[in-house]
Chain A
Amino acid sequence: GAVVSQHPSRVICKSGTSVKIECRSLDFQATTMFWYRQFPKQSLMLMATSNEGSKATYEQGVEKDKFLINHASLTLSTLTVTSAHPEDSSFYICSASLATSTDTQYFGPGTRLTVL
């Protein structure tokens, strides 16, 4: 149980284009989903928290107009990187939890974004 999927697993795009990444909870309903970014040999950094049906809460320093998050249902959240640039190249990982407070977060397999 508690399986989270991400699509695509890898994407290469040209600078200036937009890329959408999907995160799905396959066998549970996720009231809260999280988006993280991980650079090589570094730990995960939280980008934003999203609750179904409401606007995402972004961490300090994360541009909300660049990283658009939509959490349209209890099983799907999307992250769109708009006007991507090479510095946006990274490993993007989503997670989902059943409820707020102390519930465990289950992570997706990640999406490797390369911007040329």
Chain B
Amino acid sequence: EDQVTQSPEALRLQEGESSSLNCSYTVSGLRGLFWYRQDPGKGPEFLFTLYSAGEEKEKERLKATLTKKESFLHITAPKPEDSATYLCALNQAGTALIFGKGTTLSVSS
């Protein structure tokens, strides 16, 4: 059964304190791994798509990486505005997305 597990469930950082969020997965055939950011009461905002092991993508303070079993979302020198829930999702055959439960990030100044 295809699964997505995110850790930690919650993460508190000081402004400027870099860290990583983890997304481990099991899937019979990976057709895309997605990272989204979700603010309270809003829909998910697309961040990255990764397709193959070794792929990396960056956007401002965020960098996503992918191996055959997990993906990391690295946050460098975070700011309070980076506080949100970060969701990892897999694309199954047939386009349905399987979401992890998310990591809620809080960055304090």
* Chain A residues engaging chain B, CB cutoff 8 angstroms: 2, 4, 6, 32, 34, 42-46, 49, 91, 93, 95, 97, 100-110, 112
Sample 28 A-B pairs with CB under 8 A, ordered by A number: A34-B96, A34-B97, A43-B99, A43-B101, A43-B102, A44-B87, A44-B99, A46-B96, A46-B97, A49-B95, A91-B41, A93-B43, A93-B44, A95-B97, A97-B95, A100-B94, A101-B31, A102-B31, A102-B32, A103-B95, A105-B34, A106-B46, A107-B43, A107-B45, A107-B46, A109-B43, A110-B41, A110-B43
Note all chain B residues with C-beta closer than 8 A to A95. 43, 97
Note all chain A residues with C-beta closer than 8 A to B69. none
* Chain B residues engaging chain A, CB cutoff 8 angstroms: 31-32, 34, 36, 41-46, 49, 51, 87, 91, 94-97, 99-102
Number of A-B contacts (CB under 8 A): 60
Cα distance A107–B95 when bound, in Å?
14
Cα distance A112–B43 when bound, in Å?
11
Q: How far is the CB of B97 from chain A (nearest CB, A)?
A: 6
Q: In chain A, what residue has the closest Cβ to B92?
A: A46
Q: Which of A6, A97, A102 counts the most chain B CB atoms within 10 A?
A: A102
Contact B46 A104 (CB under 8 A): yes
Which residue of B95, B101, B102 contacts A100 across the interface (Cβ within 8 Å)?
A: B95
Note all chain B residues with C-beta closer than 8 A to A107. 36, 43-46
Cα distance A69–B21 when bound, in Å?
35
Contact B101 A42 (CB under 8 A): yes
